[in-house]
């Protein structure tokens, strides 16, 4: 009995639950490690953007997917982290210190936003964060002595312990290390009492409060952690594009980030990265498809926004759990084949429908 208890306990604390996880995640790590030599420089740059947006997506997933607090101004935290990193690095501050400061300042701004938003939820919380996004964008444009205003701000290459990360390969590995560390931190956070408190708040605030969960404290903490990850992603984003302008952190960017986690799959770590892949790959597919469409459609100014809207509507209607939910269904189908039944996930959809109506 004692041996059995120890075995179950070991399985609970291990990140990899079985050998399949070890194999597939090991294969993924191997691919990411050899990617600079396996793919050309263009696709390596796109993969770097996936890692950066994946970090930001982890923060927004923590806020929206695990705590149930939607933000329509998350690009503001991305901008705070990006400009903080740019100003400090250009002033000669070492890269690691600037990166930490970018995350901490974004977290502090997240607390400032989270405290007034404690009394509102749903669409009213979205309106409050939307207003905050407009305020930050206007502030970045007006504070010309620091941000450069609408003229923009150039960003120097990062230097780590005297080593200039001025190549696509070296900067990719930097983003990979930060992304892996952020992912492990979120995975372990969600297995802790704090993570369980976030999920309890998402499912039912009344039930969470009745169990002794301090709603204000944990909501504010969720905003701070989400903003900190967005700040880290913004810091790396600044070095990647090497030029910052306030319009890069507009409401359109915030909607893209929210679209990323919704299509990726709310409430899942995998969904943050699947959504990041979608956000990077979809514009490439639209650009390729323009050549095969009539000129009246292919050259239309709002083609990308229209496609994004149609994709989002399709996911909301037919796959509310996003890309990760679809993957779970495909995996279950092959695991149970030939005993898979068509209506197996019907109860799951009805639960989500009732959850939206409460």
Most confident of 8-17, 94-103, 156-165: 94-103
Instruction: State pLDDT tens for residues 223-246.
Output: 999 999 999 999 999 999 988 888
CB atoms within 10 A of CB 328: 16
pLDDT, mean of residues 235-258: 89
Q: Flag the least confident range among 71-80, 88-97, 143-152.
A: 143-152
Task: Return mean pLDDT, the chain.
Answer: 83
Is the pLDDT at 352 greater than 50, yes or no? no
Q: Do residues 186 and 269 lie in contact, with contact meaning Cβ atoms separated by under 8 Å?
A: yes
Q: Give percent of the chain with pLDDT exceeding 90.
A: 27
Instruction: State pLDDT tens for residues 319-334.
Output: 888 888 888 888 877 7
Q: Do residues 287 and 266 lie in contact, with contact meaning Cβ atoms separated by under 8 Å?
A: no
pLDDT of residue 97: 92
Q: How many CA atoms lie within 13 A of 337 on its CB side?
A: 7
DSSP-H helix ranges across 299-345: 303-318, 322-336
pTM score of the predicted model:
0.87
Is the pLDDT at 303 greater than 90, yes or no? no
pLDDT of residue 176: 93
Residue-by-residue DSSP string for 183-194:
HHHHHHHHTSHH
pLDDT of residue 26: 84
* pLDDT, greater one: 349 or 246: 246
Is the pLDDT at 27 greater than 70, yes or no? yes
């Amino acid at each position: 009995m004692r041996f059995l208890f120890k075995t179950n306990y070991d399985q609970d604390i291990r990140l990899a639950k079985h050998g399949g996880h070890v194999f597939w995640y090991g294969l993924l790590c191997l691919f990411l490690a050899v990617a600079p030599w396996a793919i050309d420089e263009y696709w390596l740059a796109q993969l770097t953007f996936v890692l950066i947006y994946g970090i930001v997506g982890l923060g927004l997933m923590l806020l929206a997917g695990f705590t149930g607090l939607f933000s329509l101004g998350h690009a503001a935290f991305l901008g705070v982290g990006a400009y903080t990193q740019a100003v400090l690095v250009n002033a000669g501050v070492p890269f690691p210190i600037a990166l930490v400061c970018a995350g901490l300042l974004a977290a502090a701004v997240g607390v400032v936003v989270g405290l007034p938003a404690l009394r509102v939820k749903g669409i009213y919380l979205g309106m409050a964060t939307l207003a905050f996004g407009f305020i930050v964008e206007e502030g970045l444009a007006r504070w010309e002595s620091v941000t450069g205003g609408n003229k923009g701000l150039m960003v120097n290459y990062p230097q780590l312990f005297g080593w200039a990360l001025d190549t696509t390969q070296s900067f990719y590995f930097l983003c990979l290390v930060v992304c892996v560390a952020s992912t492990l931190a979120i995975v372990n956070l969600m297995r802790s009492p704090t993570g369980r408190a976030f999920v309890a708040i998402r499912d039912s605030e009344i039930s969470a409060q009745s169990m002794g969960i301090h709603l204000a404290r944990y909501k504010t903490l969720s905003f701070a952690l989400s903003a900190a990850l967005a700040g880290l992603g913004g810091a790396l984003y600044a070095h990647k594009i090497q030029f910052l302008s306030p319009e890069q952190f507009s409401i359109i960017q915030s909607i893209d980030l929210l679209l990323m986690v919704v299509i990726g799959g709310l409430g899942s770590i995998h969904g943050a990265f699947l959504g990041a892949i979608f956000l990077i790959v979809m514009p490439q597919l639209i650009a390729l498809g323009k050549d095969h469409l009539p000129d009246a459609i292919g050259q239309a100014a709002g083609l990308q926004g229209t496609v994004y809207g149609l994709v989002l509507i399709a996911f909301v209607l037919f796959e509310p759990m996003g890309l990760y939910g679809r993957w779970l269904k495909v995996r279950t189908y092959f695991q149970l084949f030939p005993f898979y039944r068509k209506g197996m996930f019907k109860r799951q959809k009805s639960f989500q429908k009732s959850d939206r109506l409460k």
